[in-house]
């Protein structure tokens, strides 16, 4: 029996040592014992950091949905696979068994096929957190189509950019979505977006909110009648280990979003293995991750990881504040949730509310708590530990990225003693390195540097869709023979890692990755704007918020500044989505620049963060006088 389930610290160290001594045999053993293959691999791993190219389990044949569904039917057919909790607490929860999921995925897959979707085609999924979202993801995987899920909070332009980047043939959406007390016109957003897309032949529409919507002749079809006619079985497409499974877009510090490509076998093995260990999942547990499937967390730890382990995974359609701030805890009590995985920003927002919202509910079912997406501050960690975990539930602070496919650095419950704000130790097979700016590895403990990974792991993204050069430049060029994460980290005296934040121009706002350049591009489209610079600054609930410095063209100066601020935020909302809106906008006559004309964001970050004691040497700036002016007009 391989060490699929690690149960104490001593065992972790043994497993870890074994995993780095011989990674190939380590992963081979896990792949062999815990998954279903149509053909075994010829080679566990081949890699080349120069190209860069990484292949895991090459030659193997499989279908991930057989691993996530079919193989459970004999022993767990009636067990709940997906437990759907609707936005409105008065609407009944749905318990979708593995048998039912099997049938629903087959029907959806047959509908996709009937619309001409074939292996390798791209399907865009733009749906709220309803069962059809998970079912569509799995249906694509069933027939070998590549899914590209776009978070349903993105705007029509952001959707269009993503659809065009990967030439999606089909879009599945809904007539609208429920979000707390509001409804959102998703179909309207799709219609607007598709004005700019030529590749889409079909739009399938789920009826979720009974809205009156326009259906475009020859393009749009209601899903339900097609499902009713569809066959209830669908033979899985047999895939190669390295066939793409999905594309998921993440923002970069510059340019268009990056379509990270994940492939089949390695992603499956790693997401399943990490799910089992990090959450110490046991057969009768009810696991709940509050993320949206539109993000990597939802892909790996709502859909693939849990289902590959035959787990019950909760899908929640709503928001933590509706009908009141007790909603999360009500759900925990109602479904006797055992593992609860959320983002620090949600914890901080809930911690600000009256404790009564927590104390009303019985949370004794909880065993393990998790956080993801951004650093968790000490105060939020303790609130979570005391009020939700009642000091009895280990907290796993999981560090990873869209690009890594699965959790990389995290405590293992009951094994790794947790320290607030530390993601602690690398999972088996993960070899972190801290690098200095000259490209040397910083060895030893009590050091900090740029976080890299120096050996391949099974679920790493293999390329950026349509732009392998950008993949190489972004992740493999800063440091030779290493994957560069873009994060800074420190390693303490016992070897625990603490992530200190991004070292590039990406800002993590409420756990969402936002590149500053695309936001600046959106602002600069405003006719009154000459130039802009966006930086992050610390925010009590969101972790970071966005601060914009905007230079107006002369003609703009006489305009009402509050109106301009609104217009700028509206533009950002239209181009990217409401999550990228700026909290503060300062109009300024200039921005500090180097002699080569580069904006000195370091200084702007400090000013926005109210940390001006040590601005460093500003004398080499092209316009040192502007620093004082910017400081004098800062928005507190």
> Would you count residue 267 as binding ligand PRX (CB under 6 A)?
no
Q: Is 353:322 a contact under the CB 8 Å cutoff?
A: no
Q: What tokens does 2 get? A: 């391989």
258 or 526: whose CB is closer to ligand PRX? Answer: 258
> Would you count residue 416 as binding ligand PRX (CB under 6 A)?
no
Residues in the chain, overall count? 636
Q: Which of residues 511-550 bind ligand PRX (CB under 6 A)?
A: 513
Q: Which of residues 420-439 bind ligand PRX (CB under 6 A)?
A: 423
419 or 551: whose CB is closer to ligand PRX? Answer: 419
83 or 408: whose CB is closer to ligand PRX? Answer: 408
In angstroms, what is the minimal distance from the CB of 475 to ligand PRX?
11
Q: Which residues does 596 contact at the CB level (< 8 Å), separation at least 6?
A: none
Choice from 122, 162, 502, 606 touching ligand PRX (CB under 6 A) = 502
> Would you count residue 236 as binding ligand PRX (CB under 6 A)?
no
> Would you count residue 175 as binding ligand PRX (CB under 6 A)?
no
Q: What tokens does 599 get? A: 């904006």
Stretch that binds ligand PRX, among 218-226, 275-283, 318-326, 392-400 (CB under 6 A): 392-400
Choice from 191, 487, 505, 520 touching ligand PRX (CB under 6 A) = 487
Q: Which of 104, 483, 448, 112 is nearest to 307 (CA)?
A: 104
> Would you count residue 588 as binding ligand PRX (CB under 6 A)?
no
Choice from 427, 499, 534, 604 touching ligand PRX (CB under 6 A) = 499
Q: Report the alpha-carbon angle 615-621-626, nearest 5.
A: 75
Stretch that binds ligand PRX, among 3-11, 191-199, 372-380, 386-394 (CB under 6 A): 372-380
In angstroms, what is the minimal distance from the CB of 296 to ligand PRX?
5
Question: What does the alpha-carbon distance between residue 82 and residue 379 come to, in Å, rounded to a whole number?
Answer: 33
Q: Which residues does 249 contact at the CB level (< 8 Å), separation at least 6?
A: 148, 150, 162, 165, 257, 258, 259, 260
**Residue 418: CA atoms inside 13 Å, Cβ hemisphere, count?**
26
In angstroms, what is the minimal distance from the CB of 50 to ligand PRX?
24
Residue entry with tokens 């189509």:
145
> Would you count residue 505 as binding ligand PRX (CB under 6 A)?
no
**530: Cα separation from own chain's centroid:** 33
> Would you count residue 508 as binding ligand PRX (CB under 6 A)?
yes
Choice from 318, 375, 394, 426 touching ligand PRX (CB under 6 A) = 375
Q: Which of 114, 110, 112, 106 is nearest to 125 (CA)?
A: 112
Number of residues lying near ligand PRX (CB under 6 A): 21
Q: Is 622:587 a contact under the CB 8 Å cutoff?
A: no
> Would you count residue 568 as binding ligand PRX (CB under 6 A)?
no
In angstroms, what is the minimal distance from the CB of 299 to ligand PRX?
10
Stretch that binds ligand PRX, among 177-185, 194-202, 228-236, 368-376 (CB under 6 A): 368-376
> Would you count residue 374 as binding ligand PRX (CB under 6 A)?
yes
Q: Is 396:369 a contact under the CB 8 Å cutoff?
A: yes
220 or 487: whose CB is closer to ligand PRX? Answer: 487
Choice from 264, 398, 463, 569 touching ligand PRX (CB under 6 A) = 398
Q: What is the pattern of x (binds ligand PRX, CB under 6 A) and - over residues 446-485?
A: ---------------------------------------x
Choice from 486, 515, 577, 592 touching ligand PRX (CB under 6 A) = 486
Whole-angstrom CA distances from 202 to 121, 217, 218, 294, 366 are: 13, 10, 8, 21, 43
115 or 345: whose CB is closer to ligand PRX? Answer: 345
Question: What does the alpha-carbon distance between residue 116 and residue 419 come to, in Å, rounded to a whole number?
Answer: 52
> Would you count residue 397 as binding ligand PRX (CB under 6 A)?
yes
Sign of the C-alpha dihedral, residues 217, 221, 222, 224?
A: positive
Write the DSSP assignment of 377-437 as a string of letters: PHHHHHHIIIIISTTTS-EEEEB--GGG-S--B---TTTSPP-TT--BSBPTT--EEEE-T
Q: Which residues does 185 contact at the CB level (< 8 Å), separation at least 6?
A: 176, 211, 213
Question: What does the alpha-carbon distance between residue 259 and residue 366 come to, in Å, rounded to a whole number?
Answer: 36
> Would you count residue 399 as binding ligand PRX (CB under 6 A)?
yes
> Would you count residue 297 as binding ligand PRX (CB under 6 A)?
yes
Sign of the C-alpha dihedral, residues 487, 490, 494, 496?
A: negative
> Would you count residue 191 as binding ligand PRX (CB under 6 A)?
no
Where does this chain bind ligand PRX (CB under 6 A)?
250, 296-297, 372-375, 397-402, 423, 485-487, 499, 502, 508, 513
């Amino acid at each position: 029996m391989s060490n699929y389930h690690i149960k104490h610290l001593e065992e972790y160290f043994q497993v870890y040592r074994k995993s780095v001594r011989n990674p190939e045999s380590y992963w081979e053993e896990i792949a062999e014992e815990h998954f279903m293959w149509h053909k075994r691999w010829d080679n566990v791993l081949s890699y080349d950091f120069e190209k860069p190219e990484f292949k895991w389990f090459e030659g193997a044949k499989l279908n991930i949905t057989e691993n996530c569904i079919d193989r459970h039917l004999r022993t767990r057919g009636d067990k709940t696979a997906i437990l759907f909790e609707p936005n409105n607490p008065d609407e009944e929860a749905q318990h979708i068994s593995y048998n039912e999921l099997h049938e629903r995925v087959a029907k959806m897959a047959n509908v996709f096929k009937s619309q001409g979707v074939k292996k390798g085609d791209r399907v865009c999924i733009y749906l709220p957190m309803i069962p059809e979202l998970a079912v569509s993801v799995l249906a694509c995987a069933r027939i070998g189509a590549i899914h590209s899920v776009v978070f349903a909070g993105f705007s029509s332009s952001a959707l269009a950019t993503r659809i065009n980047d990967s030439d999606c043939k089909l879009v599945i959406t809904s007539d609208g979505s429920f979000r707390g007390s509001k409804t959102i016109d998703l179909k309207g957003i799709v219609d607007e977006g598709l004005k700019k897309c030529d590749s889409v032949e079909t739009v399938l529409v789920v009826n979720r909110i009974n809205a009156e919507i326009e259906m475009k002749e020859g393009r749009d079809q209601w899903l339900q009648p097609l499902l009713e006619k569809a066959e209830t079985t669908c033979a899985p497409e047999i895939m190669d280990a390295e066939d793409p499974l999905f594309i998921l877009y993440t923002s970069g510090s510059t340019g268009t979003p990056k379509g990270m490509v994940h492939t089949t076998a390695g992603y499956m093995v790693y997401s399943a293995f990490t799910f089992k260990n990090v959450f110490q999942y046991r057969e009768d547990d009810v696991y709940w991750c509050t993320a949206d499937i539109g993000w990597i967390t939802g892909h790996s730890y709502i859909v693939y990881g849990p289902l590959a382990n035959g787990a019950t995974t909760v899908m929640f359609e709503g928001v933590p504040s509706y009908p009141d701030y007790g909603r999360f805890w009500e759900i925990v009590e109602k479904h006797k949730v055992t593992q609860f995985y959320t983002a620090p920003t949600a914890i901080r927002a809930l911690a600000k509310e009256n404790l009564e919202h927590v104390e009303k509910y019985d949370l004794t079912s909880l065993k393990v708590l998790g956080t993801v997406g951004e650093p968790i501050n000490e105060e939020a960690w303790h609130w979570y530990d005391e009020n939700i975990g009642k000091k009895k539930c280990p907290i796993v602070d999981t560090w990873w990225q869209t690009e890594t496919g699965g959790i990389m650095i995290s405590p293992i419950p009951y094994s790794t003693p947790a320290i607030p704000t530390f993601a602690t130790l690398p999972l088996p097979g993960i070899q972190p390195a801290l690098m200095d700016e000259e490209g040397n590895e910083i060895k030893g403990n009590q050091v900090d540097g740029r976080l890299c990974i120096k050996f391949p792991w099974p679920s790493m993204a293999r390329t950026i869709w349509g732009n392998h050069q950008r993949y190489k430049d972004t992740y493999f060029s800063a440091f030779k023979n290493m994957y560069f994460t873009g994060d800074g980290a420190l390693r303490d005296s016992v070897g625990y890692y603490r992530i200190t934040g991004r070292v590039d121009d990406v800002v993590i706002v409420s756990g969402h990755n936002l590149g500053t350049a695309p936001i600046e591009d959106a602002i600069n489209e405003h006719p009154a704007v000459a130039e802009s610079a966006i930086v992050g600054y610390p925010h009590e609930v969101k972790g970071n918020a966005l601060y914009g410095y905007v230079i107006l063209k002369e003609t703009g100066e006489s305009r009402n500044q509050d109106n301009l601020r609104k217009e700028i935020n509206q533009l950002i909302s239209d181009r990217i989505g409401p999550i990228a809106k700026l909290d503060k906008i300062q109009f300024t006559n200039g921005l500090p620049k180097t002699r080569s004309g580069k904006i000195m964001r370091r200084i702007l970050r400090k000013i926005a963060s109210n940390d001006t004691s040590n601005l460093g040497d500003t004398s080499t700036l092209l316009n040192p006088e502007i620093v004082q002016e910017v400081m004098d007009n800062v928005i507190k």
